[in-house]
Amino acid sequence: MARRFHALGFLAGLLLVSHAAGCTGDPNRLDCEEEADLVSTSDRDALHGTPEGEMRGVLVAVHGLAESACNWSDKVEESAVVSAALDRGLAWVAPDAADGAWSTEVGNEEIASVDEVLATLEEAGVLSPGLPTLVIGHSNGGAFSQVYALGSERDVVAAVNENGWGTAALRAGNELPPMIFVGAENDTIVNANVVTDAATAAASRGHAVQALLHRRVALTPERFTRIEGIDEGAAAELLDAFREAGIVDASGLVVRNPRGDARIGRATPGPLREFSRHIDDQMHVAYAEHRFSSAEIEPMFELFDAAVE
């Protein structure tokens, strides 16, 4: 995971930072591997990007516990989602949790703080004003997506909770937008049943919800070529090494949970070990463990499209 730094609240007013987060030398701001535009408010940093042409909406992308907004620029799965947003005419904004965690209490102060980030971008002319908003969060960020959809002053038209749990926001009487809940069948951090139960409870209270299950899939070289710097030959070599080590079976399925499986690091060919963090992410996604997966891109944006038609 890329290093992150807590905002120190030293800014007297709202500040729009024009340089890229990956290039800044200021230790009070996000330090991402990949370049992305950065905005800072009085208590929060956020990455953002805008599409070419007319903006149809804005995606608020929320990272998980003890992670950072850099996920959305640095990680394969998360960056695929923000790229898909741009392709569909949506701007994206990835706020950073000031202390590494998002409050999941209804009406918490972080909701207004995230709204402030978007208002700052509107005032600076980066975002068109009043755009319909899609919020997507992972794990702790997925739980936050529910309370943000309920409490935000913005026009939140759809929400996605991936690998997160239910919150009090799902109670009957709360006016929530349509939501997608995504579980992962082998998730040992937030069991898939927890996600399903949250979706079932929300549906029983009259909310419009979809429940999706991310299942284990066979590894192919194409999964690893998604990592910048790994070509087809290197990806095939990596997959062969995992088969030889018994990590992957003959059909390409990851044999056991990659969480803490030291064989993965040992079996990775030396020249590819610089990509170990990304390889580990892809192993978790293929096994359907607790990682953000971009496999549900189409349903996520279809939910938004249906809401704004």
89 pLDDT more than 70: yes
Buried b (16+ CB within 10 A) or exposed e, 34-49: bebbbbbbeebbbbbb
In angstroms, how far is the first alpha carbon of the chain from the final one? Answer: 38
Pairwise CA distance, residues 69 & 40, whole Å = 12
Q: Residue 31: what pLDDT?
A: 87
pLDDT band of 207, cuts 50, 70, 90: very high
13 pLDDT more than 80: no
Q: Residue 4: what pLDDT?
A: 29
Residues 261 and 209 in one domain: no
Percentage of the chain beyond pLDDT 70 is: 91
Percentage of the chain beyond pLDDT 90 is: 87
Pairwise CA distance, residues 96 & 109, whole Å = 14
Which DSSP symbol is given to 152?
-
pLDDT tens for 117-149 read 999 999 999 999 999 999 999 999 999 999 999
Q: What's the structural domain count of the chain?
A: 2
pLDDT band of 18, cuts 50, 70, 90: very low
12 pLDDT more than 80: no
Pairwise CA distance, residues 168 & 2, whole Å = 32
9 pLDDT more than 90: no
Residues 133 and 111 in one domain: yes
Residues 84 and 182 in one domain: yes
Do the domain assignments include residue 169? yes
pLDDT band of 114, cuts 50, 70, 90: very high
Contact, 53 vs 93, CB < 8 A? no
Do the domain assignments include residue 94? yes
217 pLDDT more than 70: yes
**235 membership: H or E segment, kind and range:** helix 232-244
Match 């979706």 to its residue by tokens: 199
Residues 205 and 226 in one domain: no
Q: Residue 86: what pLDDT?
A: 98
Q: Residue 98: what pLDDT?
A: 77
Pairwise CA distance, residues 110 & 29, whole Å = 18
**161 membership: H or E segment, kind and range:** strand 156-162
Pairwise CA distance, residues 238 & 234, whole Å = 6
Average pLDDT, the chain: 91
pLDDT tens for 91-113 read 999 999 978 899 999 999 999 99
Residues 131 and 148 in one domain: yes
Task: Name residue 19's amino acid.
Answer: H
Q: Residue 172: what pLDDT?
A: 86
Residues 108 and 256 in one domain: no
Q: CA dihedral in degrees (222, 50, 307, 110; nearest 10)?
A: 100
Residues 32 and 141 in one domain: yes
Do the domain assignments include residue 198? yes
5 pLDDT more than 80: no
Domain range for 145: 15-215+290-308
Residues 50 and 170 in one domain: yes
Residues 191 and 60 in one domain: yes
pLDDT tens for 156-199 read 999 999 999 999 999 988 999 999 999 999 999 999 999 999 99
Q: Residue 289: what pLDDT?
A: 98
pTM, whole model, 2 decimals? Answer: 0.90
pLDDT (mean) for 202-225: 97
Q: Residue 28: what pLDDT?
A: 43
Do the domain assignments include residue 179? yes
